[in-house]
A and B are shown apart, each in its own frame.
Chain A
Amino acid sequence: MKDDVYILGIAAYYHDAAAAIIKNGEIIAAAQEERFSRVKHDPRFPKNAINYCLEEAFIEPSEISAVVFYDNPVLTYDRIIHNSLLMGESSFETFSNATNSILGIKLWVEDHVLKTIGTLGKYGKIIFAGHHISHAASAFYPSSFNEAAVLTIDGVGEWSTTTISHGFENKISVLKEINYPHSLGLLYSAFTYYCGFKVNSGEYKLMGLAPYGEPVYAKQIYDNLIDIKADGSFRLNLDYFGFLNSHKTTNENFNRLFDGKEREPESRITRKEMNMAASIQAVTEDVVKKLAKHALDITGSSNLCLAGGVALNCVANGKILQDKITSNIWIQPASGDAGGALGACYVGHHLVLNEKRTVQPGLFDAQKGSYLGPKFSNNEIQAFLERKNYPYTRFDTTAEYFNELAKELADGKIIGFFNGRMEYGPRSLGARSIIGDARNKSMQSKMNLKIKYRESFRPFAPAVLEEDKSAFFDLDVQSPYMLLVAPVKESIRNERTLQQAAGSDDMIEIINEERSSLPAITHVDYSARVQTVTEETNSRFYNLLKAFKALTDVSVLVNTSFNVRGEPIVCSPKDAYTCFMRTDIDILVLEDFVLYKEKQPAFEDNKNWRNEYQPD
C-alpha cells in the first residue's frame, strides 16, 4: 500500500512568512508565523508555523515526502545582478544589502529546515518552487475547477511580476509573463508610500480611501507612469520610480509630477491623497480587468483563478464580476506571500511528484473555509480561564447562548468572537473576529477609534448568511473569503443628502452620513466587501447570524479582524483576552464561554503595550 504523501510548504524572508502542509493533496494545516510570534508580517523563518503544521498533521518530520520553498533565491539574485548592471555605481547600496540578505540568509533555507525539523523529507533536498508558480498553484489547485485560466499579479517574485497560466487537471502551464521592473504591485505600492501609508500593509488602506476621491490624476498616470496595451500587459516608465537603485519606491520626478513630496505618515489626509487613491485604483482596475479578459481569451476558459498580492484588491476583483468578464472566479484567500506556502505544497505534490488531482464534486472548493490554523477545545479554554480566575458564563443550551449573544449585538454591544480553527490569510472570517451590529450608525466610529485604534475613514466589512446575500447586496456568487466588493442593494440605500463643499477634505462628516440601513458596512460609494457564511464551513458563526436575524430581521453583522492596529490577528485564548481587555470590546466569546467586560478583574498589563505594535 502506498505511503501517504505529506508535502510541507514554506514561505519566508520577504514578508508574511508561513507554513502549510498537505496530505495526499488535501490541506491539513496552514498558518502565518506572525500569529505565533506576535510580530506583524513576521518575515522570519516560520519555525512556529511549521511545528504547528506537523502537530496538526500528527506526523513525525521523517514522514514528510518533500519540503518545498516558495521562491528561488538564486533566480532572485540573478535579477539583483542585472539590476546593478543596468543602474551602475548608484546601485551599490542596493546590491550590497540584497547580497547580504539573499546569499547570507535566503539561500540557506535548507539549513534552517534541517535545524527546525531535522530532515528535508524523503525527497532528500529542498525544492525551490518558482514564486509565481507558487501563487498560481495556490489559486488553481484548491479551486473546484478542473481547468482554468490562472492569473497572478504581485510586486515581484524572482523576475516575474505578472503571469498567465493554464491549469488543467494536475498541471499548470505558464503561458506568458511580465517581468521586473514592470510591476502593478510596485506601482500601487508607490502610491501607497506617496500617500503616507506603509508599503506591504498600507495598500489596503489606499483601496479603502479611493471612494472618497475622484480619479483626477488618472490621466497623468496613463500619460507618464504606465503604458497599457489592449491585452492588459503594461510597462512602467522608470524615470518616475526609485526602487531600481534605492529603498524608496518614488523619486523627485514623481514628486514633481504630483506637485509635492509624499505625505508624512499619520498626518492629516487631504483631498489630494483621496484623489491619488481614486486615480491609482481606477488604473489598477483597468489593468486587472484587461489581464483577466486576456487570460480567459488565450486559454479558452471561462474559469478564472487569481492570486498574488494584487488579488487582495477586492474592489478590482469585484469589477471582474460586475463587468461580466466572468462569473466563475476563485481567489486564494491568502493571496499574498503567505499563500505561497500552500502553493509550494501543491507544486511539490502535482508538478514535482506528479501526483494526480481529485476535484470533489459538489464542494465549493478545497480550502475548507480557510479555517486552517489551530483551534482550542472547551477544556483547554476552561483550564485557561480558571487558572487566571477570569469570570465567565456558560449557557445551559445553545439556543440560550445564541439568543443572548444576538440580543447583546442588537443592543449595540461589540463582541470579540473566538471560534474554531484560525483563519489562513489576512481576513477574519468569523473565527477570530470582532463583530457588531451593522445597523448601528455609530458602530464604524466606535470600532475604529476605541477598538482598532485606527484611521477613522477605514470601512468595515459585512458577514451575511449565504442565502440572504442578494437581499442586501448586488451579489450573485458565493463570497466566503471577503475578496469581492459588491454594491449595497439600492432598496436599502439612503439618498445622499450631504453636499460636500468642493475640494473639502473633511472626511468625518462623510463617514458619519448614514448611507443605508446598514451604515456601519456601507462605504462612501455604497460598496461593501462581503463575506457570505454557510453552515457547512462555520456553523457557530452561521447560527449566530441566524439568531440575530430572528431578533432583528437582518442577517448581517460587521465582521472585522480580532486585533488592534499593528497587532497580528489573535491566535490563542490568551491573545484574545489581552486584546479584549485593552480595548472597548464589551463581550468576549471563547467557544462556549462568554465573558462580560464589567465582570472582569483589573487587568495587569504592560503599560507600554501601545508601543509594542508599530502602526501599520
Chain B
Amino acid sequence: MKASRIFKEKPVNSISQTWNSDGTVSISIFKEGWKKPYVFKAKNLNSKQETILEDEEVTE
C-alpha cells in the first residue's frame, strides 16, 4: 500500500510534515514495528486539486 493511502486511511504513530513555499508538502509516516519511515509528497493536500507527486510503497 502506498504511504499516501496509509496516511489517509490507517492509524500510524508518527507523522512529520514539511510544508514548502510552492504549495507542496513532504510527509513522513511511521508506525511502531516498521523498520523505517515512509515518505510521500503532495501538492494541494486535502483539497480537490490534491496531487500525489512522490509516493513510497510500504512493504511492511
Q: Do A and B come from one complex?
A: no
